[in-house]
Amino acid sequence: MEIPVPQIDSYLASAAFSSMLFVALGFAWRTYRQRYLVYWAAYWGLYSVIWPCIAFLEARAGAVPPNDPVAVALDALTMLCGLAARLSLAFGVLAYLGRPLPARRVRSALAAGATAFTAASTVAHVLATSHHAPAWVGAPFHAYVVGVPLYLALAVVAWVASRRHSHAAPRRLLAAATLAGGLSDLWDVYLNLRAAAGGWLTEALALRLSAFGTHAADALMAVAMMVAAIGEEWTRAEGAAAQLRRSEARLRSLFENALDVIAVVDLQGTLRFASPSAPRVLGQAPGSLLGSRVLELVHPEDREAAAAMLRQVLERPEVSHLMELRLRRGDGSYAPVEVVGQLRELEPGDRAVVLAVRDVSERRTLESRLQQSQRLETIGRLAGGVAHDFNNLLTAVLANLQMLEGSLPPDHPGRAELQDASLAAERATRLTRQLLTFARRQVVAPRVLDLNEVVASMDRMVGRLIGEHIGRRVRLGPGLWPVRVDPTQLEQLLVNLVVNARDAMGSGGMLLVETGNASLGNGLRAADEIDVPAGDWVRLVVEDTGHGMDEATLGRIFEPFFTTKEPGQGTGLGLATVHGIVQQAGGHVRVRSAPGAGARFAVWFPRHHGAPAPAVADAREPAAGGNETILLAEDEPQVRAIAARVLSGRGYVVLQASDGAQALRAAAAHAGPIHLLVTDVVMPELGGRDLAERLAADRPGLRVLFTSGYTAGGLAEGAAFLPKPFTPDQLASRVRELLDEVLPVNPRS
């Protein structure tokens, strides 16, 4: 049988057009691997291969009776192919728009429904052609019942999606194409109905008009799909380019703001590149460094080691090499740096040494301060032990001198020598107390103070200390936070710093005393703030314009007995005392100085949250003497003998013990009350604190007076303490004061 020309045109045009789209979408899927391209390729594959072949065979079987099994099967396959193509189009549109696809079960149900619909339409067609059902039952528009609503729904979905997208044109074109597909199906229904009714619209004309509408809709659908695919990839490319630009900007920002210097050196040792952080580390712009020999920037003493490192980098390119050296700054000074180098192939055939240069000046400073702190801690422990033993000796010396002086008549010729000896012993006492302050063993009485008030009250004395040839400026920070420190020690600290500044300005200069609040975070710090912990601090600055100090002197200024003065001009304990006072107050002291540039001492006290306490008036010394019983525990025989003689001479009953264990036995053997325990803090086996606790449990209300050359860990808040060395009058006065405070006399339990 001869196939009608319109049908041939339709089949050939559809096959050729669909084949081109199928191939184009196939190539696009191989390149971009987007899911929607697979569905659209399947849509055009059904049009380009399956449907034309079936339609051609159906046309060839046109002379076969309509109910022939071959004709029925071909008609069913044509309808099933159309339904499958429409579902592929729908899935592709949903995937392109980013909408979730139906689940596997739903897709299986849709396939089963398309098969059932095809079977039902085929049965209806057979019944109608065999005159077992009305003719309209087998009309050829059953498939359009699925196609038209599906096309219209996809058009609505694509149009709504275009309104929420930055690139709306491809989605709107896809909406127009799916709408045109639905209208094309309606156009086919109309033509079939008109041709069946007879009249001017012949079957051949209806076939050509249908082919025209179908080809127009297919062309629009093809253009829409290609534009959508190109637009989607264009959008992806734009997003990738924007992400790449953001990534490059982020990397550039990290690179430009990195603390390390990244440098590239060629195989001849010439600097080819330096990162923007070069001015911060080396004080030179990257452009001024390019082209220079890298070894010329190295300190002469480090060049041989640097050259050896470069040779190792070339010989072992797989290993990163590390060394520390000094590089020349723009001002001619040298910065200690840490260099990591490795051989890299920057481009094919272009090998160079990549160096990461890190400034370790701050780390060196912290290491130096840590070593100094450890050295001072060791010296402090030694000084504390020496001062403790020395104070025991001074206690015996002072007590014997005072008692001997009291036993001589006023006109005795030896009184002058005794007074000179007493003055020398008192001077030795001051030295030991300075050592204890440095070692943080001195007993303190901290109070909440306003630092501005202390500085202002001492301004006149500071003027007398420095003399008229030195000018002074005092800048008191407003709203200063309170600090908790011993007021006597604070005054001593300020005097020592002022005297140190005065001695550095022998020919005159300017002294600055400044206070202020400072809240330190975890960011970049000034030189005198590097290792001060974050938090709120009150800062006291004493700065002079004197001759300054070199690094060697700065490393030792807080050591006891270290001084740069002439012999006999100083003890070397002034700054050591400052260090001890600050450490005992929980603060920090930092020094910045250079030869000829003066010195700046910055003292950091922790902020105290609370109002300053009012000043406390000195209590009058009570009268000495009494008849109470005192338990005396002292491990130093000379001190114990002198204290017992002083107390017995004033009428007290004294029970003596050489250590804590013996004191417990003496208390247990004494049947009467014990009014006061006088005990050394540090004793072998059982110390004074433990002794007092055990006796207090047996004798409630027992008063305790602690004595020691240093506290060795501190005493409880409010504990009575008499520091060594003490005089007989001081011991008797303190004992009487405590006994007068006792209300009940403790019986032995």
Transcribe 560-615 into DSSP letters.
TT---SPTTS--S-HHHHHHHHHHHTT-EEEEEE-TTS-EEEEEEEE--SSPPPPP
pLDDT at 449 over 50: yes
Cα–Cα distance, 537 to 588 (Å, whole number): 10
337-347: pLDDT as tens digits: 888 888 887 77
Cα–Cα distance, 178 to 39 (Å, whole number): 15
The answer to whether the CB of 335 falls within 8 A of the CB of 281 is yes
pLDDT at 652 over 90: yes
pLDDT at 515 over 90: yes
pLDDT at 336: 86
| Residue 511 vs residue 89, higher pLDDT | 511
Residues with Cβ within 8 Å of 735's Cβ and at least 6 positions away in sequence, in order, are 624, 626, 630, 647, 652, 676, 678, 705
Q: What percent of the chain has pLDDT over 90?
A: 7
Question: Please, what's the largest Cα pairwise distance for the chain?
Answer: 162
- Mean pLDDT, the chain, rounded, equals 77
654-684: pLDDT as tens digits: 999 988 889 999 998 998 899 999 998 888 8
Q: What is the pairing mode between strands 599-606 and 535-544?
A: antiparallel
Q: Count CA atoms closer than 13 A to 89's CA, side-chain side.
A: 32
pLDDT at 413 over 60: yes
Alpha carbon separation from 408 to 267, 402, 404, 421, 732 (Å, rounded): 92, 10, 7, 15, 20
In this prediction, residue 59 has a pLDDT band, given cuts at 50, 70 and 90, of low
Transcribe 307-358 into DSSP letters.
HHHHHHHHH-TTS-EEEEEEEE-TTS-EEEEEEEEEEEEEETTEEEEEEEEE
Token reading at 243: 């992400």
| Residue 326 vs residue 625, higher pLDDT | 326
Residues with Cβ within 8 Å of 147's Cβ and at least 6 positions away in sequence, in order, are 82, 86, 181, 182, 185
Q: If you search the block for the tokens 């192939």, which residue do you land on?
A: 345
Q: Which range in 127-131, 240-244, 344-348, 709-713 is most confidently predicted, on average pLDDT?
A: 240-244
> How many CB atoms lie under 10 A from the CB of residue 485?
27
- Stretch 178-184: mean pLDDT, rounded? 84
| Cα dihedral value 286, 287, 293, 295, nearest 10 | -20
The answer to whether the CB of 654 falls within 8 A of the CB of 663 is no
- Report the alpha-carbon angle 560-562-565, nearest 5: 135
Q: If you search the block for the tokens 């690094």, which residue do you land on?
A: 551
pLDDT at 542: 92
pLDDT at 139 over 60: no
Q: Which of 610, 630, 647, 651 is nearest to 730 (CA)?
A: 647
- Stretch 320-328: mean pLDDT, rounded? 84
pLDDT at 79 over 80: no
- Report the alpha-carbon angle 287-291-296, nearest 5: 105
Per DSSP, the three-state class of 619 is: coil
The answer to whether the CB of 653 falls within 8 A of the CB of 680 is no
In this prediction, residue 2 has a pLDDT band, given cuts at 50, 70 and 90, of very low
682-694: pLDDT as tens digits: 888 888 888 999 9
pLDDT at 561: 67
pLDDT at 295 over 90: no
Cα–Cα distance, 95 to 36 (Å, whole number): 5
C-alpha dihedral sign at 128, 133, 134, 136: negative
